[in-house]
Every structure is written in C-alpha cells, then in structure tokens.
Amino acid sequence: MKILYMLVGVLFSLSLGAKPLDVKSLSYNAILSDVQYPFPVQHFALDSQGQFLDMAYMYLPPTDNKEVVVLLHGKNFNSAYWQSTASYLHEQGYGVLMPDQIGFGKSSKALNYQYSFATLANNTKALIDSLGLKNNIILGHSMGGMLATRFALMFPENAYRLVLVNPIGLENYLIYTQYQDPEFFYQQELKKSAESIQAYQQKNYYAGKWNQDYAALTYFLIGQAQGPDKDTIARVNALTYDMIFTQPVIEEFKYLQVPTRLILGTRDRTAPGRNWKKAGVDFELGRYDLLGERVLKQLQDGALYPLAGLGHLPQIEDFSRFKKALNKALQ
C-alpha cells in the first residue's frame, strides 16, 4: 500500500514539473472536481450547524505502530500541498491524515455557515473519531496553525503533541489593525486575477523568487477565481477571513497542556491586516524572527526550531532543511 501511495505521489510531482500552464485557461469548480490530489481522496459526511456537508480528506495509515500526524492546511492552500511532508512521514511509519476543511479544497463550500476555529476543530475531531484515531500529533501551517492551537485547547486528550509551522495568529491583529467586515474581503476576492495571485505569493512567500513548483501551488486558486463558482468562492473566502481577526488564540497559549513545537522560517513577515493599521500604530507586525521567542515564554512545554532565511512555507521552499526541524519537533 505504501508503494502505491509513493507511485501516485511521484506521478503527481511529475505533473507539477511539466511545462508552465496557460493559467488564463484554468477553470475549476467550487470542489475542485478536475484537480488531482497526490493520494486517494475519501469523503466524510458531516452534520454541522443543521447542514449535511462533505469533508474531503486523504489518509495514509501508520505502518510501524506510530502516531498519526494530522496535517492542517493554511488559508491559501488545500491538503494537497502536504504531499512531500506526508510522503516523508509515511516513510517513517507515521500515519498521516490530511483533511480539507469545510470551505476549502474539495470540501463543501457552505455559504450560510458560522466559520470559526472552534467549529473547524469540532469537524476535525468528528473526522478523527470516525477513523478511530486516538494518538495524534496535530500539525498546522499558517491559518492551520490557529486551527491546530484551537484543537489542542479543546481536545487535549486527542493531541499528543502540537507542531506549528509558520502559523499566523502569533499576534492579536485587531489590537493593531482596523476591523474589516466580510463584505470588504468579498470585494477584494472578486478583484483577484492570475497575475495578482501569483504576484502576491512570489513577493510574500518566496522573497521575489519563483519557479514551477511554486507556480503549481497557485493553479487551484487561479482556476477557482476564473471558474463557474467564482462568486461562491469569493463569498466563502471572505467569511473565513473574519475568524483570523476576531478569534485570536495567542492569549491562550499559556493554557496549552500539550508539548508545543514551533518551526519558523524567520524571513517570514506575514501579517494579516498590515495594510489597514490603526492610526498612530507603528508596531511592526509579522516579525517571525522575533515572534518565536516571545511565544516560548507563554508555553508550559515549548521548543523553537528557527529556519534562518526561509519564509512562510519552509516545507515547500527547502524541504531538506524543514524535515530536519520536523524530526526534532516530533521527538
């Protein structure tokens, strides 16, 4: 079974390494029906807030009686970008669970839904319970780090360890920025284009560098922005911004009962709301080279693994360095 998963992953990698696509022709529906994921996609029927929703996920069972690592994706991503991380973990014998959260990836895009980190954590717990998983390492990246933290706070008995990879939410953004409601973000989402999506990631994630692997991670975003359900996608994306600003987790780090490990690319300057700071605020948001040490002081059992020179996606930018930090974080 492991060989089959590895072969599927190789085929997916080769498809990403092909010549650049004509991004203007990309068009995907709300659930990415035409997008191939690196491992078999399964579906969990979820009853949440009076709605019957579909939660897509990939699951690689453990092979050496090891823990299951639950990989939680960021806002501008889906579970497919965990391909290299999942393959590596599975080779080490770990189980790997990669859900697409409701509102993301191949999962349902609910419009009349209260998106919150508590709700997404509850959904993730329901999925974990349905698979009978008990001993889990919760690993979150970017927005997934805020979700992973909320999960560990709500369900410490289901979180053997918490690993945060360049999480957002290491600051309470509304202290420094003006609140913008979902309608503001909806209008911003409608303006997105292939050029703006790639330009944002090139500048903010990779310090101006760009290659085909980086570009491939934007294709689903571009396809949805140009696809038949672009209005739905814009609405849902707007709704999921709100929780980033209104549901901070940083003040609750001191209550975390599980060992917590931070893997931080220190070049990262990600800071939601930076462009609409409150008048008179000169505090510099998003200093990941400083945030790690600040957070450590709040943790009962914490450790920091800084990756100098890497940005918001160390697992994509330099996997060889990332996996060394990951090995330490999992010990």
pLDDT in tens, 177-235: 999 999 999 999 999 999 999 999 999 999 999 999 999 999 999 999 999 999 999 99
Q: Distance between terminal CA atoms of the chain?
A: 26
| pLDDT in the model for residue 6 | 37
**Domain segments of the chain as ranges:** 2-13+27-330
Q: Which of 2-11, 117-126, 319-328 has the lowest mean pLDDT?
A: 2-11
| pLDDT in the model for residue 140 | 98
Mean pLDDT, the chain, rounded, equals 94
Per residue in 18-72, pLDDT tens?
Answer: 456 789 999 999 999 999 999 999 999 999 999 999 999 999 999 988 999 999 9
Inform me whether the pLDDT recorded for 8 exceeds 90: no
Architecture per CATH, 2-13+27-330: 3-Layer(aba) Sandwich (3.40)
* Phi, psi of 260, deg, nearest 5: -125, 125
Select from 110, 319, 126, 154 the least CA-distant residue to 247.
154
Select from 156, 138, 136 the least CA-distant residue to 147.
138
The residue count for the chain: 331
Two structure tokens written together for 291: 């945030």
Q: Which of 2-16, 127-141, 304-318 has the lowest mean pLDDT?
A: 2-16
Angle at 76 between CA 30 and CA 257, to 5 degrees: 115
CA distance 140 to 73: 6
Residue entry with tokens 């903010």? 204
pTM of the model: 0.94
| pLDDT in the model for residue 20 | 64
Select from 54, 63, 126 the least CA-distant residue to 96.
63
| pLDDT in the model for residue 19 | 58
| pLDDT in the model for residue 64 | 84
What confidence tier does 9 reach under pLDDT thresholds 50, 70, 90? very low
Q: Tell me the percentage of the chain whose pLDDT exceeds 70.
A: 94
14 in Cβ contact with 212 (< 8 Å) = no
| pLDDT in the model for residue 4 | 38
CA distance 23 to 21: 5
Positions of E strands within 168-320: 260-265, 302-307
Strands 136-142 and 161-167: parallel
Instruction: Tell me if residue 41 falls in helix, strand or coil.
Output: coil
